[in-house]
Structure 1
């Protein structure tokens, strides 16, 4: 039996070069990962380390704001999923507690007169920016510069995955035209001491809803990937400059389940991460992408609300504890 190993770190630079042998090796390595558990890491991409550092600082500046400042752009105040996600808003794994994470949802700037907004397309609307953050203009500029850089990298990743399927690297380009990608700044407060780990995970065990996810970690670990054959959880150690790549449910559906959308989770250890996942408002018979992803959102956020209401019914007061953790 093969010893389970964490997602490998692959040099992505051959994708941009003229060395056909190195490129073929990269494609084969990615193919193996897609068949095995749908996870791998990449270095040698085109997102500058300096930009990564700047955007990680932006993330920290946002989450260090007072809670009342962050709640001014609560994403529950709009229908297009942009803005702040309060701690314990989502519950991806049934049987756990609502997740010990907070986030900021960001995407392409889509004005209210845009057809996507008027048609209420998935995740389509203007960004909700914090008004009292230091260097507000720089915060917005750096965030969007990074968003567009990772958007382009996601298209490159899809190019390599296309090659693993025996088609041209440009095969998925039509699907990325007019695509809606969502980027999230994520903060995982440290797990409270002497409390049940299962009820205080950063993110419970789940598969991603979208097509492909690119995750930038800071120096603190916590991400774990399930090795299905052995049933073991494998730690994904942070690597400076690297992106953790994983395929989501949409891509697995597009590939007729040939490739894996694998289960993963985050154990809270006080960390910041930035994830960019791709969604696309096009049809994938017999269900639209919008309907599939919207349903997944409703399930996970609805599960958290149901859990809180059940606690309230048992007269368990969770409000002060949540405020203390989120402060």
Structure 2
């Protein structure tokens, strides 16, 4: 049976011949057309940085709730998203219980000089005093993720036989978010409600998502092209990569923005807790996104401004208390 998430080694892209680079681009085009997801190795991001960032985040999530509450924010803010803040299923128009997770959220914070834009898209990052080392680790991680994401966008352009800068010319001053998600164990959150997940079924919103995850019973599933839910394969050295709605729109639906979910905690592993490092990359806030015309693209969508399009998506998943 073909894996729902193919594996692509990027080492030939970085160190191979032009023929090797072309081969990587072809494999990525195939993966994004068929799956919308792929695993990448050969990316050059050190294991130490991933492990250190996760360990420091665990120290924060282990703090008493009253301490974490000092950093509480809503979706789109910089700080702690407490339990009950998000229900990703809402993005599909499905009313579901809140997702069974907590997050620490940071992101792009280099202001563009427009107060209205900066107030949402380039907010100052807030770091917990109780874990002072987290700031340095997360900032280094975000820098490595931005470099990797731009390289992926160059590979994407090569896969479409477009100039290498076709996408990255729109990422000179990009928006991005780094969410560190903690999925608590069942022993802490109790049995899930009906249709409740660690993250409910949804598609991502931006251009490319780079995920460093842990294997678990209550782990990642992707929806295959024929509508089946399948466990995503795991490789400890690999990042899991997928595209979001903005990139699917940009390519005229040549590539799939694939539904996925994170299963709830399971009674077979009541003590399982997982930490995922999720980098959501986008574009310049004012980038105008125009769909690729046929034969590359399959559908022509009206142009959108990236930040306006993404803000609507973020608003849809925010749980508001009556």
Q: Work out whether the TM-score is over 0.5.
A: yes
Quick check: 1:109 aligned with 2:113? no
Query: Residues 126-185 of structure 1, C-alpha deviation per residue, up to 9 Å, x if partnerless?
Result: 10111222xx1x221111011101110011111111111111323222111011211111
**2:275 matched residue in structure 1:** 272
Q: Report the Cα offset of residue 11 of structure 1.
A: 0.6
* Runs of 5+ unmatched residues, structure 2: 266-272, 290-301
C-alpha distance in 2 between matches for 1:59 and 1:268: 21
Residue deviations 1:219-246, cap 9 Å, x none? 43500000121x2111113311211100
Q: Secondary structure at the match of 2:281?
A: strand
Q: What is aligned with 2:201?
A: 205
The 3-state SS of whatever aligns with 2:280 is strand
Partner of 1:242: 238
* Preserved CA contact (<8 Å) 1:41 1:244: yes
Distance 1:5 1:83 in 2: 36
Segment drifting more, 163-172 vs 38-47:
163-172
For residues 154-165 of structure 1, the aligned pairs below 5 Å read 154-165=149-160
Deviations 1:89-121 (A, max 9, x none): 11121142110011011113336xx51545446
* Cα pair distance change 1:69/1:287, threshold 3 Å: same
SS at match of 1:295: helix
C-alpha deviations, 1:207-262, integer Å up to 9, x for none? 00111100000243500000121x21111133112111000001111111111101
User: What is the RMSD computed on CA atoms of the aligned residues?
Assistant: 2.0
Verify the 8 A CA contact 1:4 1:227 in the aligned structure 2: no
Q: Does 1:143 align with 2:141?
A: no
Distance 1:117 1:43, change over 3 A: farther
* Rounded Cα–Cα distance in structure 1 between residues aligned with 2:237 and 2:264: 21
What corresponds to 2:257 in structure 1?
Answer: 261
Query: C-alpha distance in 1, partners of 2:182/2:35?
Result: 25
2:296 corresponding residue in structure 1:
none
Aligned equivalents of 1:11, 1:180: Cα separation in 2: 27
Structure 1 counterpart of 2:311: 294
Provide TM-score, normalisation by structure 2: 0.85
Distance of aligned partners of 1:155 and 1:234 in 2 relative to their CA distance in 1, 3 Å threshold: same
SS at 1:181's partner residue?
strand
TM-score (norm 1): 0.84
2:74 pairs with 1:61 = no
Q: Deviations over 1:298-319 (max 9, x none)?
A: 1111xx33xx64xxxxxxxxxx
Gaps of 5+ in 1: 310-327
CA contact (8 A) 1:110 1:117 kept: no
Q: By percentage of residues, which structure has more helix?
A: 1
Q: Distance in 2 between matches of 1:80 and 1:30?
A: 30
Number of positions where the alignment pairs a residue of Structure 1 with one of Structure 2 = 294
Say which of 222, 225, 235 aligns to 2:222: 225
> Matched residues in 1 for 2:167 and 2:77: separation?
25
